[in-house]
Structure 1
């Protein structure tokens, strides 16, 4: 029986340096309805099979993609390629997604967050986000059809998102964390028109403060892929029939079927909250290609002191 890969997926996109995985869009797959949404926007004419998913920019989409589904440790995922606009798909995989429940219940993040949004080069107060699980509100308006998901490893990553297609006034993707003083914080993107911002522009803290939280959040994620080869050989059957003068021997053809399956490991290695200059950009969480937890944590620590341009 084939696996049902329907679900919500956190995604990661390999950046141009070939090493850093940055946060990507939220993908929602419904195999029964043959639909895919990307950050709440319905993909036009997607192709979904029992093991893969693809779409084309030439169909009127903002990107092209081709991925294969997999199951690892009980969680569905995909791995493949994506290209923005009318660009050709890259020669190597640059797109990864995982569908798994958030490791922490949403109630862990209950609180009233003083929100701030970046306009140009300045952070300005943007009201409040209130989490009172299972309810979420933003500036007094209830949020509908939100998606709460995440992934884990030696650290947890919990993501909350909602979109205009769900009846909301804006598109938002945020991740939660605690700062060094124990205050709850979030960081992410808030937009209405166009594509998801390339740099985080939305943040908040439960600390009572008239100023935006001066934090940089660095998330080190280990993503690795491997292939397994499964070979099935049909049984060789020899049927011999002997008549009085004739011997007939029939041998079935030997058929070898080899299936190559790509398995992807996605593990959160470290979530670091670090102080940075006020009004400095809050960088998107970066994911390391390495699977060395110590090295990833060290790299994340270095990034937190000097944010990258990724």
Structure 2
């Protein structure tokens, strides 16, 4: 796997030279065996228990080095600093288990206009013995030169009638749903998740590095937020499942956040709030 520290340095050094209007026709593959110690570290930081079954979000971190290689590789048109992770959808046909050899494939897809700039997908798939069993689609926004059409960044993951919010406040703004749990997110969660995931984007590590990118405090990783929410459903997700989330606002560190969930026709919706919605998602399957 790639040395992510070197790739982040490369991203910083080449950020001013990246131009273009198309994604490169590039993909990367890797064969991966899960390290039990790494899995245990990931489970601890995200709130999962010790189980033989891989958490739904765990293969994302296995594919992350390949994702960064593609986004720092030749022909990629955007500087890595400044890309905004606005959505993530994971589809699984069956649970993955510790000890299974995993075949990873990562590719870039679907560069398209957005009212605030341009967005594109990074698609990661996992196959076992030639059978595709897990697919992750992460959508990123590159701000600037927007089209004036498309969905706003952080738009709801579900139709208006299935919003995770509990209602409307005066002025038509969504109000916070009734919390099922309240979590305190510690100041070091960005560093701890970075150790487990390899994602050492400076906006997640320390207040002083986050300030260089316009954040008053460090912020939690979006994929940590999704994983922490799914840990609340551990042991209750169907074997074949889709989980679609939109990252609506960063979680500043430290924070006190409220987790809510309610049933839908074929699953559940969930949300993470403080004074504003941070994440909204749906589980179906």
**TM range, smaller chain:** under 0.3
Name the larger-Rg structure.
1
Q: Please state which structure has a larger fraction of its residues in helix.
A: 2
* Greater RCO, 1 or 2 (C-alpha within 8 Å, sep 6+): 2
Q: Please state which structure has a larger fraction of its residues in strand.
A: 1
- TM (normalized to structure 2)? 0.26
- TM (normalized to structure 1)? 0.25
